[in-house]
Amino acid sequence: MKVLIVSQYFWPETFRINDLAEGLIERGHEVTVLTGIPNYPHGKFYPGYGFFKKLREDYKGVKVIRVPLIPRGDGGGKQLAINYLSFALLASIFAPIMCYRKYDLIFVCQLSPATVGIPAIVLKMLKQIPIIFWIQDLWPESLSASGAVKSEKILNCVQKLVRFIYKHCDRILIQSPAFAPLVESQGVSSGRITYFPNSVEKLYVPIPKQSRLEEMAELPSGFRVMFAGNIGAAQDFPTILAAANILRDYDEIHWLILGDGRVRPWLESEIQKAELKDKMHLLGRFPIEAMPSFFSMADAMLVTLKDEPIFSLTIPSKIQSYLACGRPIVAALDGEGGRVIVESGAGFASPPEDADALAQSVLTMYRMPKEEREAMGKRGKAYCEENFEREMLIDRLEGWMRELT
């Protein structure tokens, strides 16, 4: 089958759509990806890329077609809006020319923004082919929850755009079952909505500690609580900071932060002010291939989200990665993400934005015998294999693709 994936983000940016495209190639499909110039998360083009540089590439057999866009800069509201709209506009203009081949299906990966659906609809109208639209991030709800957009007028306009996009898609996939009612409220019948969670890339497996990387040699000894991912507003770092402050007298407990993002400068400043530099360690950003080795050095993995209704509906993709690596989890979130952690038996989920409860969860896990924590990790891995296994989920996707084509 000839599949065109439309995603504003793709390799060398690190998102799960990279692995899904690779998985379809492994099944014998011909896959092309229409995407933008890589600039996430730092807000500037990756070295070697530019408006008209490297517009065609190959990634593990995937044909990659890039269209120009305005980079996201420092991630401020106006710059993000320009970034999103520039991709939607320029992809709609260039895609009919650059994606001249015949395709059987368009698969849209909608992280943020929802506007990624616009060029897909343009191509659908021109080529008369179906669209599968995979929702990772609910719009306009997430815009409001993150504080990126406060104007009711703008949010209403976004809602109308989202309704238009959903209307023109043949099947809507959702990464969390809790998304279904909100998608239905946008005029989508329940028969067009299907649960399709994030799977786990093949690289996420338990790694023996002795295979650690050189960068891990200087990790602090003791009980390591590790966060991996975007350092952004949605991840609620004030609560993590407050929990670390509550436990500051426990010399063995250390908080390790892997990743980068727009909130990092604020976090560095607050760590300095709170005199927590010996307790909270910002390790920076590393290649995705290094994550399992880093996870193997953690005693507990950490996931947090702000206390917003929209965030309670989502399953943060890092949860699947943590589970697949067999690590115990402490969380400050509720809803679907919390349900998965508790249901799997992989760890503790406390209410969002409750620093005392998060600190207590960490303390409880710290006081546990190591064997109990390892048992948590094994239960989580078994749950992951049953619910988020890569090949099983690609099998399902292939079935839906065949139905449409």
* Residue 33 host element (H or E): strand 30-36
Residue 109 belongs to a domain: yes
Instruction: Determine what percent of the chain is predicted with pLDDT higher than 90.
Output: 82
Pairing of strands 223-228, 300-304: parallel
Evaluate whether residue 400 is within a structural domain. yes
- The pLDDT of residue 115 is 95
**Domains held by the chain: number:** 2
- Determine the 3-state secondary structure of 226 from DSSP: strand
Reported as half-sphere exposure (CB side, CA atoms, 13 A), residue 48 has a value of: 5
| 38: containing domain | 2-199+389-404
Look up residue 8 and give its amino acid: Q
Q: How far does the chain reach from its first CA to its final CA, in angstroms?
A: 9
Q: What is the pLDDT of residues 7-47, one digit of tens each?
A: 999 999 999 999 999 999 999 999 999 999 999 988 999 99
pLDDT in tens, 244-278: 999 999 999 999 999 998 899 999 999 999 999 99
Same domain membership, residue 191 and residue 57: yes
CATH at 335: 3.40.50.2000
Same domain? For 230 and 309 the reply is: yes
Does 125 lie in the same domain as 71?
yes
Q: 204 in a domain, yes or no?
A: no
pTM (2 d.p.): 0.88
Same domain (yes/no): 189, 221: no
CA neighbor of 328 nearest in space, from 368, 282, 293: 368
HSE value, Cβ hemisphere, 13 Å, CA-based, for 366? 18
Average pLDDT over residues 315-323: 95
Residue 360 CA: distances (Å) to CA of 242, 275, 355:
12, 21, 9
User: What's the alpha-carbon Rg for the chain, to the nearest Å?
Assistant: 21
Show the tokens assigned to 252.
């063995």
Pair (276, 372) in one structural domain: yes
Question: For residues 113 and 220, what is the distance between their CA atoms, to the nearest angstrom?
Answer: 38
pLDDT for the residue numbered 9 = 97
Same-domain status, 78 and 140: yes
Whether residues 19 and 168 share a domain: the answer is yes
Asked if pLDDT for residue 212 goes beyond 60, the answer is: no
Note whether 231 and 181 are same-domain residues. no
Residue 216, in any domain of the structure: yes
Same domain, 289 and 354: yes
Q: Residues 382, 394: one domain?
A: no
pLDDT at residue 150 is higher than 60: yes
d(CA 122, CA 93) in angstroms, rounded, equals: 9
